[in-house]
Amino acid sequence: MPTSSTGHGMPEMLTIELIYALPTKQQLLTLRLPQGSTVQQAIDASGLLQKYPEIDLKTNRIGVFGKLSKPDALLHDRDRVEIYRPLIADPKEVRKQRAAAGKVMKKGAGDGE
């Protein structure tokens, strides 16, 4: 008779959090999945792909606790799977624009003499 680490003959279950952050709120779900589940299986089980059709796993990146992950990565108990939205702007470009705007403001500030 097969046994598991729980000793009750049932497969060990994982508790997984799955999060998808929207601009105005975040969707956080807690899932119970069998040992050996993958990131992709957690996303599929969450129902988020149906609820938010804008999620495209070909373009949206996914991760576990802030580190990029592949869909076939195995999950561990208490992992947090994250679905990231595409960036609206390149952070480097935004910093360059802010720096350029700051130089213009400083340059123009003393022109009233």
Residue 50 sits in a domain whose CATH number is 3.10.20.30
Share of the chain above pLDDT 70, in %: 75
pLDDT band, very low/low/confident/very high, at 1 (cuts 50, 70, 90): very low
Cα separation, 112 vs 26, whole angstroms:
48
Residue 72 in any domain: the answer is yes
For 64, the enclosing helix (H) or strand (E) is: strand 62-64
- Model pLDDT, residue 71: 96
Considering the domain boundaries, does residue 108 fall inside one?
no
Task: Provide the mean pLDDT of the chain.
Answer: 84
Would you state the pLDDT for residue 92? 74
What is the residue range of 48's domain? 13-87
Would the pLDDT of 109 be above 90? no
Residue 58, in any domain of the structure: yes
pLDDT at 55 over 70: yes
Q: Which two tokens stand for residue 21?
A: 């952050």
Kind and range of the H or E run holding 95: helix 91-109
Total domains present in the chain: 1
Residue 79 has pLDDT above 90, yes or no: yes
| Domain-embedded: residue 7 | no
User: Does the residue 101 lie in any domain?
Assistant: no
By CB atoms closer than 10 A (0-12, 13-18, 19+), residue 27 is middle
